[in-house]
Amino acid sequence: MNIQSPNSDRSFAIADVEGVRPRNRRWIVIALVLIVIAAGAALFLMRGKGEGAAAPAAAAAGSAKATAQRVTVIVPGHSASTATITTTGTLAARREMPVGVAGEGGRVTAVLVEQGQWVRAGQTLAVIDRSVQAQQASQLRASIAVAQADAALAQSNLDRARSLVGRGFVSKADLDSRVATRDAANARVAVARAQLSESNALIGRLDVRAPAAGLVLTRAVEAGQIVSSGSPALFRIARDGEMEMQARLAEQDLARLSVGRPAQVTPVGSTRSYAGRIWQMSPIIDPTSRQGVVRIAVPYDAALRPGGFASAVITSGAVDLPMLPQSAVLSGDEGNFVYVVDAGNKVVRRPIKTGQVSDNGVSIQSGLDGTERVVVSAGAFLNPGDVVVPTRIAAAAAR
């Protein structure tokens, strides 16, 4: 008969419990390792997704930066500029004097000057036949001699009558009659002399004379030609040789000018300019063309031929305007324009109105205030909206 001791059963139970604890501890460790591995995998996956999303954005930014064009820009500011007006017109004599026949006219016997010749005031230009007038003058001189003889006889008779009045041989009435006869004879002498003077004046008017000193522009008469007071002008003279340019300007340009403003006049076909000044401005505006005439006086020169065509640059005053190099100003179908880089470095097209072009650049009358970043060059390769990398330089260096 087997008898079990109660102590032996308790020992087996204790051994079983001690065997279970190591196994639970191992599973816990494995579970913790698996949790750490899972967390690491999740973190890795999350990091990989973030880098994958950032990579295309960085690549796009790098590509955009690589394709953006570098351009040179300037901020023009304001510069003192001389405002000018360019115009065209015709050359003419400042004071053109037509010279014709002052008397009754006749046949021209001699022409004494040629066109292009300088003449003095009162110089004879042409001579008209005066043979008939000369005979009339001779007759008048003879009539003066007759009148003087009659006046002398009347004076002698009056002197004798006065000597006989005291003796009673001549009455007072007879003496008064002789005085009247003497006075009438003297009057006839004066009339004859006046008639001779008139005849001489008429003869003098048969000489065509220059009214003032100047340059003979045209000659329209030849010897043998019959002329009269109704004939066209025989000569045209530029008084003192003074010339002018007559230009038509719009009324808004006229408002900027005044008498005395300087101008440079250049005849067509010539590279030489002549200094002149405005001496007269039209007081009216043509209602059809909305223009007025400006007359620019210039000194005489052989190259300034009346009737010719010329251009003029008139100085209208000094103003402060933005100044750009010529490379910055572009032209299109709608006129002149420049490219401006805005705050986002994007290219914006800006229409402008240009002023004077000089060695210093092009003045901008409207379209810019001087604070913009204007593209100096490469404008032909840009389009509105392009993103660029601007490089600023000084305005003075750009010019």
Parallel, antiparallel, or unpaired for β 388-392 and 69-74?
A: parallel
pTM of the prediction?
0.57
Give pLDDT tens digits for 26-72: 677 677 767 767 766 666 666 555 444 444 444 444 444 546 788 88
Compute the residue count for the chain: 399
Predicted confidence at residue 364, as pLDDT, reads 85
d(CA 131, CA 94): 39
Predicted confidence at residue 16, as pLDDT, reads 47
pLDDT-derived band at 23 (thresholds 50, 70, 90) equals low
Give pLDDT tens digits for 92-136: 999 999 999 987 889 999 999 999 999 999 999 999 998 888 888
Is residue 129 within 8 Å of residue 106, measured between CB atoms?
A: yes
Burial class, 266, CB count within 10 angstroms (exposed 0-12 / middle 13-18 / buried 19+) = middle
d(CA 249, CA 255): 10
Is residue 363 within 8 Å of residue 321, measured between CB atoms?
A: yes
**87-92+241-317 has which fold?**
Elongation Factor Tu (Ef-tu); domain 3 (2.40.30)
**70-81+321-398 has which fold?**
2.40.420
The structural domains of the chain, with segments of one domain joined by +, span 70-81+321-398, 87-92+241-317, 105-218
Give me the architecture of the 105-218 domain, per CATH.
Orthogonal Bundle (1.10)
